[in-house]
Amino acid sequence: MATRAIDRNVAQREARFFFIMACVMAATVVGGFGLNAALGRSTFNVPWLYHVHGLTFLGWTALYVAQNTAIFRGNIALHRRMGKLALVFIPTMVVLAVTLTFVTLQVLGGPFFFGQAEFLFVNIAHILAFAALAVWALARRRQTDWHRRLMFGAMATVAAPGLARLLPLPFTIPYTFLVVFLAAMVFPVIGMIADKRRNGRVHHAWWWTLAIPLAALAIGEAIANTDWAINFAADHVAGTPGAERPPHAFLPPGIL
């Protein structure tokens, strides 16, 4: 009986941790995009695709928080029912993220603190890293320890753009993507620390939540720095407003 009570206590503490961290990551996403809007760095006067993309990714964030809330309250049946929505969200998010990256390059040229080829290929690698972790988490949904940690890693990965908007990215050139990825990986590191304190060891799944996004970054950067990728990005923006900016990362006049 005592052992069962201890096991229940550990499980409840773990559920509480994942619930709190889900709320923290969601707050980071909302805070990052909200701050940009409040400071006038972003606008709602953009093509419809931006709104669909934003609502879809916000929906995923809400789903993640809701599912962790259900587990924290002991409603496993609701958690499983909501989990079916992930089968729709994941491929939709991949398609929207890739499409919007191509559109943004032509419409806006991409953020000035990224090279255009870098923005294109690292973004694609980034969303695929999210999908890999999320799909793997779904495949191991019967193994709760793996499932919740891999899904945590997927959420941390997809939360990176929101977190990035809280960072002084213009001053991180030419290491901007590395800075963003390392900042987002703070969340899994917190998970590792919590595991160590709660269970006396770090679960193996956490290492994958670090390795997959960082591997995606390395692959994306390697491709982006090839002549083929640079020429591909240049051809894509040719004749559009995106071609009016330099193809490499730069600081606009007057930003310092």
At 27-85, the pLDDT tens digits run 999 999 888 777 777 767 788 999 999 999 999 999 999 999 999 999 999 999 999 99
Distance in angstroms (rounded) separating the CA atoms of residues 150 and 154: 6
For residue 1, the model assigns a pLDDT of 46
- Cβ distance 89 to 172 under 8 Å? no
- What is the average per-residue pLDDT within 2-12? 61
- Type of residue numbered 108: L
- What is the per-residue pLDDT for 40? 72
Share the mean pLDDT of the chain.
93
Cα dihedral sign, 199-205-206-207? positive
For position 57, what pLDDT does the model report? 96
18, 71 Cβ separation under 8 angstroms: yes
Q: Output the pLDDT for position 2.
A: 42
Residue 184 has pLDDT above 80, yes or no: yes
- Residue 3 predicted with pLDDT over 60: no
Longest dimension (CA), the chain: 72
Taking the C-alpha atoms of residue 34 and residue 87, their distance in angstroms, rounded to an integer, is 28
Quote the pLDDT of residue 231: 98
Q: What is the pLDDT of residue 256?
A: 61
**What average pLDDT does the segment 184-213 reach?**
96
Instruction: Give the model's pLDDT for residue 217.
Output: 97
Whole-number pLDDT of residue 19: 97
